[in-house]
Structure 1
Amino acid sequence: MLTNDLIKYLKQKYSLTFKQMLTNNRNIFVLMVPNSNDFFAILSRVPNKEIGINKNGHAITLDLKCGEFSQTLTDLPGFSQAFRIKSDKWVGIWLNQVDDEEVKKAVDYAYKLALNGEIKTTGQYLLIPEDETSQKNAYQAETIPPRKDISKSKSSEEKKDEIPREIAKMLQSYDYTILPALGRQKNFYHQGQLMANYEDNYEHNFVFNHFYPTYHDMTVHQLRTYFTWRSKVRKGIYKSTSRSYVFIYIYELLNQIGVKSPEDGYQLLKKLYKEYILVYDSEIKTYLNNWIKDYVVFYNLTEHKDENFVKENEQDRLYEDLLNPQDSIKLINALKGVASYHGKSPLEANKYQELLFFVWQKLLANREYFNFASEILFTLTEREYYFFSRALLYKRTPHFDNFEITSNRKFYQKNGHTYYEYFSPVARQKTKINAVLHEIDRLSRIEYHKGRKLKANNLKAAMVIVIEQAIREFHAQEIEAQRPKIEIDLSNLDKIRLDASKTRESLLTEEEKTLELEANGDQEDNSKKVEETTSEKEQNQAIEKEIPYGLTEDEYMFLMALWHHTSWKKELQQKHLMTSILADSINEKLFDEIGDSLIEFNGDEPLIIEDYLPDLAELFGEEE
């Protein structure tokens, strides 16, 4: 139970609040009944090092004054001897190990006991006077006469004859010398082993209702009622009975009493769930479901994990689709399970879905400025685990070292303790994921010039930068994919040239052939001159400074002309170059440097965007 929940419960139900016990000590608080200075509860923070736990921080404990009932509570899971007061009238509770309802019941008992001056109220009732104006205008407690036990009218010999020999032996076997913290579990286990194969056919039916029941809490009549009911259950006959009898039977199976193997015990638990719990007592369905899961892990029944951890498997699949999405469809479906910001983008559904998938992968891949997975999605949680919470189990060693439910969820043993490791959602997960989806929607509207503008939220600046860059990259790839591709097959050019040469030669006259031979001679002389001239040009070009950023000579000329407002149209016309193609090529090659298109068109006139003139000057080392 959480401390805040306990404080809220006491405030709402009894108008009680914890008070500081010592002025200078904020680790110990006490609870007192109205008009009294005596306290009946102590809430304290115990440093872990004081209780032998090698972890930082504190453990929250609660001491309650429960009188004679304290000895019974001490044996229950999560309860122990009092931490702050050494008295058999006080009991201690580890708040993190005990269910909310059990803590409330114990607190209620301690409060009522303190309110009545530690006078036991069991077996009493409150008498309300008929005349409220009389001098006896107060509640009076009168003792209810105890129910007459018909068995006392019989002689001791007759009563002895009624007790079956096996039950009598079991009752005699109870060991009162064992310390209370372990006594109930150990005695229950050893008595259960004595009665593992016992069968009865008792004609009467005695009711039995008890908190954390054991054999020792039952009378002979109740024992015989229980063993008769159990005998029928083992034969497949399920009849309605007291809930405490059902718990006794479950405790037996958990402790491997009367079963051949863990597998046999598992099948009996599942059959009880189907044939009895769902039919007669669905209120304990949650208890048994959790205990069956623990049973599968504790006894290492790996073949049954999938059928019992369905919810955990579904949860981890959702986590995996968010942490490592395989495609956009799986990502969208997973987001629907954890966020509410959906279907708001003005972009086409398929385009936005692919854009979201692309940006999400970029966010997950970034590790330099933030960890998207642990900050927005999930955190790896590890806690010590106690099997069969609120059940009665004699100390046994788990049958596994490492039990993996999924790749992200497992139990493991370490230094004699069991730990449970799993992914849990970060605080305010839904709000944080909605903020990410909102920014993707907002920035994509700006990039594509669609829809109304949205107001930016308070998402971390580094994440906003990654989202913005990812959207631009996605859009650039989309534009590139839409450009028409012209493919020229050069493999047939030689054959075309040869065929053309033959055709031309066949059409020449003798006079034209003679002139061609003379021309070829002059051509050889000219080719030598051309080679010399070409060599000189190549040397001169090698000396010239290389044009940066992969720009061609024409692209560089065009860019410089636009920048310095010089003429360029005549040169482009002479070279038969298209303005739009040059502009697109320059924008693409300088995109990584500028982060946007550098040249835009005002009608048919190309212009350098004025905002990027300083960037251009910095890139080419010139003054604007």
Structure 2
Amino acid sequence: MIRYFEFEKERSERVMSEEKSKKQQLDDFWDISSLVPQKRSFAPSSKSVETVLVTDGEEKKESNEIKITQSSTVIERFIPPHTPDELRKPVEPYDEYVPESPLIHKVSIYKEPSSYSFYEDFCRTARRLWNETAAEREYVDFFSYSPQYNQMSTAQLSYYLWWRENVRRGVYLKTNVCYINLYTFELINVRDVIAPIEAREFMIRVLEAYRSVLLGTIPKYIRWICDFSLIHHLPPPKEFDVNLLEKASALKEYFMYVAGNTADGWARMLLNYCSSYDYRTSKFATEENIALFDEHVPMAIARVVEKLSDDGKILSALPFNDCKISAKAFDGAVCSSENRFIIDVEYCSFSRSHELRFLIGDAVKQAENKIRAHISVKSRLTVYSLPLEICQVINEYFDRALPVVRKSRAKAEAPTEYDVLYDVPRIKFSISNAKKIESESWNTTRELVGDLEKATVEELPTVVETESLINENKETDDMSLLTSLGEYGDAVLALVKGDIGVLSALSRSQGKPTEAIVDAINEIAVCAIGDILIEETDDGYSVIDDYVELIN
């Protein structure tokens, strides 16, 4: 019996063990960690490797505690702060001066700290080949990202010398960007064999002659010209194509220079570089009217420049913030170490001032509106935020230089011959004829109506009573319209009497545009009489002729 119980006990334990093992296997199926290889654990050293700061007092050690995660140990290390990409410039500038341009306050030139010698061979070859010439050659294609003499074949070098000789004489043969860049690199690096002003003149001529070849490299080429000019203290070129300068993305202010610092010169400069609106794109600037635009728009802007300038300081009445730009000279060019500089320029930014661009643009629009009035165009450009004093300056200029000529109303057309056939014949008034016509009319009425009923004719009011009623209604309409106009009533009465400037005075007093006041008056008139009251004419605004008597 005892042996039987022991056997049953062993059997039950074996069954339970098998069930537990089976259940464990089912659970382990979802245990992903059991499938991952075991990592070797890291045992941190107990010895300290940190430096100890020795002081007079009690020795203090920094914590040597190492954070350990389940997977690995995290070791804290010192991470240095972000280091700028730019090289540190010397404390003292290599050269520093104040140019003649009123927009550029100071130019500081620094030598680049790092020196190199891998372009010295290019400079020696450029000096050796400076006076070399070649016979006439056929065009030979040449390509290089950084063109140099040692990359050219004999045929390519011969054509380059032939092409360069013609450029010096003002003849521009077929070429490509690589030949042009090689010639530019040559002018940049051989400053000891040619005067800087002559070298820059050649660079500008090549740019203007081969603009269709340079295309996307024009902004970079203009920056090289600007860098070369600033390093050698050269004044801005007197004549520079505006269309080329618009493609430059850096320091347009260097080229914005006016000899004599005159208001007329600065007006044309602002129109070219600092205006949000170009009057040449107007649909009314046609061949017939473009002369008026070219003559009067710059003159009107010149009066604005005079208004905003004081003591020879251009636009001193406007708030401008000084800017500073720092860049490496001849970036992207083959340049020796002795010709590589870092240029800092402190200047007053005109081309990047959105406020100035919108101000000049609105002034141009106001000037065009005055020209449109002169050529009898009724449509006007919308001027958003032009100050009242500037608008007044422009209006005063055009009142003197280009007054609006009010055209007389067209006379009534002469009657034609066939109109006479439709006229009522004119005869003398006769009482007897009138009574005869009345009697015949009553006879006709009796024949039509008969004796069915007797018509009772009410007595009509006399003519005097009718006229008095009409006059009474008219006075009521006049009083209701003037009452509805309210604060604008006096201005409308003055406008009827011929005071054209009353609306401008009212706009100044209320600080609103004249168009807004006219719209307000017309809205009131539409509610009162069902029609607008004021219309725009060639010389401003006037009350519609049909309602002049209503106001008077």
TM over 0.5: no
Larger fraction in strand: 1
* Higher RCO (C-alpha under 8 Å, 6+ residues apart): 2
TM-score, normalised via structure 1 length? 0.28
